[in-house]
Chain A
């Protein structure tokens, strides 16, 4: 190796008596690279992170199921399914609650975000009773209806008497319209990330499709 400084300019010359400014600059560069490296690694890990780490305790799940006296015997496989279903459910609820927080420009998820998610989503209808009425308020005067779009089909809120956008109540993939002009990308990415992670993990098949179930918009 010659004293040739052309090679590997990013590594600082260990012995060269470099004057402070360039050295500092190189260090900064390195730090930046390191940061990028770790951020990428983290993304990779999260990307590959399948749901294994989140395993809800099966015994607890069983107890919850059996709190219903009607439920008697459960196969050994059932709690596994319930644990996973529960986790997926929480993911759904999280995303939708987060959307509401985003709409209101908050970086803290609050109870009323969850209330909003429940109110807006048909498949969460079974939760409607646990939401206190005073939680269902919209901040910033958004009202119950997002502005009508060109096609009149809202993304989030089913206005009175009109069905929600995609059938099935679960919106997977790209929303058809974008009421505010802001949320087209983030929601679809957020949705796709849930199912795509699964897809790329190899164990779940292709990502989710919309169009499941029947239309149940009149709630």
Chain B
């Protein structure tokens, strides 16, 4: 096996199609008279900016989490991070999204609590798992 070589992959990016859709939909709201097109480089800039925003926000949330001597970045850490980075305008819509997610999950859990019980513990502490759903959180 030899030495453990750390392979540094290229930075993960957000899917272009989705970024493009977000931008385009907003543009069509901004401009009612015809389509605005997006230059290829502009799309890259959007993706890149969003990616760095994630880093920026998670680093802030991470610091807040550590300050409280906890290990797991919670929803609350994220909200505090938004305040700290002056993105407090996001807090309300994000809280609403969270509510929706929790309701949805509560419904799911009620229906399948038995089989979830065994899996929950594994899902809660996220390491390298690559599930799309992010699992459910027992809070």
**Could you tell me which A residues sit within 8 Å of B by CB distance?**
46, 49, 51, 53-65, 67-68, 70-82, 84-91, 93-95, 97-98, 101-102, 107-111, 113-115, 118, 122-124, 126-127, 130, 168-170, 172, 186, 190, 193-195, 198, 203-205, 208, 212-214, 216
Known: A62-B126, A212-B89. A71 touches B56 (CB 8 A): no
Q: Known contacts A88-B90, A127-B49, A213-B88; is A75 also within 8 Å of B72 by CB? A: yes
Question: Are B27 and A94 in touch, CB under 8 angstroms?
Answer: yes
B111 is an interface residue with CB less than 8 A from chain A: no
- B96 in contact with A86 (CB, 8 Å): no
For A172, the chain B residues whose CB sits under 8 A away are: 89
- Near A by CB (< 8 A), chain B positions 17-68 give 18-19, 21-23, 25-31, 34-39, 41-42, 44-46, 48-59, 61-62
Tell me the smallest distance from the CB of B114 to a CB of chain A, in Å: 19
Q: Which of B37, B73, B139 contacts A71 (CB 8 A)?
A: B73
Residue numbers in B under 8 Å from A75 (CB-CB): 72-75, 124, 126, 137
Interface of A is mostly: helix
Tell me if B73 and A78 are in contact (CB < 8 A): yes
- By Cβ-Cβ distance, the 7 closest A-B pairs, closest first, are A76-B137, A213-B86, A111-B41, A203-B96, A73-B72, A76-B135, A114-B45
- In the complex, what residues of B have CB within 8 A of residue A59's CB? 130-132, 134
**B73 near A74 (CB under 8 angstroms)?**
yes
* Separation of A89 and B94 alpha carbons in the complex (Å): 12
Measured CB to CB, the nearest residue on chain A to B125 is: A73
Q: Are A82 and B78 in contact (CB under 8 A)?
A: yes
Q: Which residue of A lies closest to B34 (CB)?
A: A107
A62 contacts which chain B residues (CB < 8 A)?
A: 126, 130, 134
Which residue of the partner chain A has the closest CB to B84? Answer: A213
Query: Cβ of B42 and Cβ of A49 under 8 Å apart?
Result: no
B19 → chain A closest CB, angstroms: 6
CB pair A67 B55 closer than 8 Å: yes
Pick from A81, A87, A111 the residue with the most CB of B within 10 Å: A81
CA gap between A204 and B95 in the complex, in Å: 8
Q: Determine the chain A residues whose CB is within 8 A of the CB of B31 once the complex forms.
A: 98, 102, 107
Contacts of A63 in B (CB 8 A): 12, 130
Are A64's CB and B97's CB within 8 A? no
> A212 near B62 (CB under 8 angstroms)?
no
CB–CB B86/A114 < 8 A: no
Q: What are the residues of chain B within 8 A of A61 when measuring CB–CB? A: 14, 54
* Docked pose: A122 CA to B24 CA in angstroms: 24
Would you call B15 an interface residue if the criterion is a C-beta within 8 Å of the partner chain's C-beta atoms?
yes
Q: Which of B15, B72, B78, B79 has the most CB of A within 10 A?
A: B78
- Closest beta carbon of chain B to A88's beta carbon, Å: 5
